[in-house]
Amino acid sequence: MTTATRQVFRLPDLGEGLTEAELVQWLVRVGDVVRVDQAIAEVETAKSVVELPSPFAGTVVALHGEPGSALAVGEPVLEVAGADAPVGERSDAEPTGAEPAEAASDTTELEAHRTEERAGSGNVLIGYGTSASSGVRRRRPRPERPAGPVGPRTAAVADTRTAAPPARQTAPEKPTVRSPLVRRLARDLGVDVAAITPTGPDGDVTRDDVLRAAVPTDGPAGRQAPPGADTRTSAPPARQTALPQPGLAEASRERMSMLHRAASATYVRSRSEIPEATVWVDVDATELWTLRPAMGERPPSFTALLARFVLLALQDHPLLAGRVEGEELVTFEGVNLGVATDTPRGLMVPVLPRADRMSVAELDASLRALAEDARAGSLPPARLSGSTFTLNNYGAFGVDGSAAIINHPEVAILGVGRVLERPWVVDGVMTPRRIAQLSLVFDHRVCDGGYAARFLRQVVDAIESPLSLFGRI
């Protein structure tokens, strides 16, 4: 009787430095027959929700993970029987009683997969690294055991095989942090994992442990304890039990999504690292408000017009479209514009690459498409990173102002409130005008208030006298 070959589909490199995904829902069940490229599950990363297509055809014989569980890159997702692997994929079928050396081979492949991910591999969701450079190797056949007594040369080989796994295990990079995503988060937040009291199973440091350690706890100045400082006296359980209880029955309790957890890490880092300052001004947008309906059959949105004015002003104030990396300020040729967007999953900042090259019409079309894709959850991770300046039109929610948080590691974020008809003095006469408030939050390490104010004033002048820039928009 011939047993059908089992193929194990492992979570592929998701790109953009993503090393973990949360299983949202299965789209197949055990016993279903699937074809190549058929969507088998939805997973949520820190940036978007994506479907996983199967690289195999055959019958589903096992599903790994329950909805809500986390999967690391390289871990099994599902198993398919009854079909051969596509070109470049290896078979993960294992005979009963697999030896430790074979388990070590799995570990080696997983480490190779993670090494490739850290190096910025192009083997992303589609393709699964089937090229020769993918880092996922075919398993070599297991050598047969000798039938007779082990001779000197054979014994040396046997000793090498048994000694290899312990040698690799005795020097892990961080023994208490098994998830590469947690290691990266700790590194990005400057958290010393050795000073964290782990709460995960088997003494693992979890993502929540790192986020709690990153929250400033040393008094009103809001500074994070220096690396290496002993933070175990303020371990998470102790702080939680000391919280006063409201005396109300809980209506619900649920874990924050990966998007919110990733965003919270960015917020914490922004508030703890950036000495931010804010300048704001009320702007008379009456002329622009009147002019916009006459700008074609489908007039551009107010956000598109504002974006164009901002991009023109950034040409004269490039520091505000830079990034702080360690002790260096990096400026760029051009601007990748991030646009804060409200979605069912929460706040997202999709990016328009080289927005400085776009006209108002191009900005308008791109912004509309970007917002639709963001709300539908269909944006690839690459479109949710790499911004160098962020625009936030919170006026769409009917509010006038906001204390925005800079999108780390950017230098500034510009917000605009609702355009509201208000009494305004023009040439000594009180008259109704369309007024909006602009608010610029900037990194005071990069520039002073004068530089930021001149940028903001240039944007204001463009809004108040749009015809003066008509040839440039």
Judged against a pLDDT cut of 60, whether residue 5 lies above it is answered with yes
- The per-residue pLDDT for 443 is 96
User: Mean per-residue pLDDT for 178-193?
Assistant: 71
Place of tokens 């625009």: 391
Angle, to 10 degrees, between the axis of helix 360-376 and the axis of helix 302-316?
A: 120
pLDDT at residue 122, as a whole number: 33
pLDDT given for residue 312 in this prediction? 96
Residues 328-353: what's their mean pLDDT? 92
pLDDT-derived band at 44 (thresholds 50, 70, 90) equals confident
113-122, 271-280, 457-466: segment of lowest average pLDDT: 113-122
Does 168 have pLDDT greater than 90? Answer: no
Question: pLDDT of 408-456, one tens digit each?
Answer: 999 999 999 999 999 999 999 999 999 999 999 999 999 999 999 999 9
Distance CA 328, CA 347 (A): 29
Total-model pTM: 0.56
What confidence score (pLDDT) does residue 387 get? 94
For the ranges 158-162, 207-211, 303-307, 421-425, the lowest mean pLDDT is seen at: 158-162
The pLDDT confidence band at residue 66, using thresholds 50, 70 and 90, is: confident
Span 203-221, average pLDDT: 65
Q: What CATH fold (topology level) applies to the domain 6-166?
A: OB fold (Dihydrolipoamide Acetyltransferase, E2P) (2.40.50)
Contacts of residue 129, Cβ cutoff 8 Å, sequence gap at least 6: 12, 13, 88, 113, 116, 121, 123, 135, 136
Would you state the structure tokens that stand for residue 271, as one six-digit string? 């508030």
* Residue 471 in tokens: 């040839």
pLDDT band of 220, cuts 50, 70, 90 = very low
Based on its alpha-carbon atoms, the radius of gyration of the chain, rounded to whole angstroms, reads 28
Residue 7: pLDDT above 50? yes
Residue 387 Cα to chain centre, angstroms:
12
pLDDT bucket at 17, cuts 50 / 70 / 90: low
Calculate what percentage of the chain has a pLDDT beyond 70.
70
Packed helices 100-118 and 180-189: angle between N→C axes, nearest 10 degrees: 40
Element holding 330 (H helix, E strand):
strand 328-330
Asked whether the CA dihedral 204, 208, 214, 219 is positive or negative, the reply is: negative
Q: Please identify which residue in the block is written with the tokens 């956000």.
A: 303
Q: What amino acid is encoded at 350 in this protein?
A: P
pLDDT band at 231 (very low <50, low <70, confident <90, very high): very low
Residue 406 has pLDDT above 80, yes or no: yes
- Kindly name the residue from 113, 260, 408, 444 that is annotated as catalytic: 444
CA pair distance 23, 44, nearest whole angstrom: 6
Confidence of residue 365 (pLDDT cuts 50, 70, 90): very high
If you average pLDDT over residues 269-289, what whole number do you get? 93
User: What SS3 state is found at 265?
Assistant: helix
- 3-class secondary-structure state, position 356: helix
- The yes-or-no answer on residue 113 being catalytic is no
User: In this predicted structure, what is the pLDDT of residue 229?
Assistant: 39
Tell me how far CA of residue 466 lies from CA of 30, 241, 255, 307, 458, in angstroms.
Answer: 62, 57, 47, 13, 11
The per-residue pLDDT for range 129-167, each reduced to its tens digit, is: 333 333 333 333 444 444 444 444 433 434 444 444 444
Does residue 384 contact residue 353 with C-beta atoms inside 8 Å?
no
Q: Say if residue 258's pLDDT is above 50.
A: yes
Say which CATH architecture domain 276-472 belongs to. 2-Layer Sandwich (3.30)
Task: Report the 10 Å Cβ neighbour count for 252.
Answer: 4
Q: Check: CB of residue 232 under 8 Å from CB of residue 213.
A: no
Distances (CA, A) of 234 to 196, 218, 329: 10, 10, 34
Q: How far out from the chain centre does Cα 11 lie? A: 17
| Phi, psi for residue 310 in degrees, rounded to 5 | -65, -45
Instruction: Give the start-to-end residue ranges of the domains of the chain.
Output: 6-166, 172-217+259-273, 276-472
The span from the CA of 122 to the CA of 375, in Å, is 26
226 or 263, greater pLDDT: 263
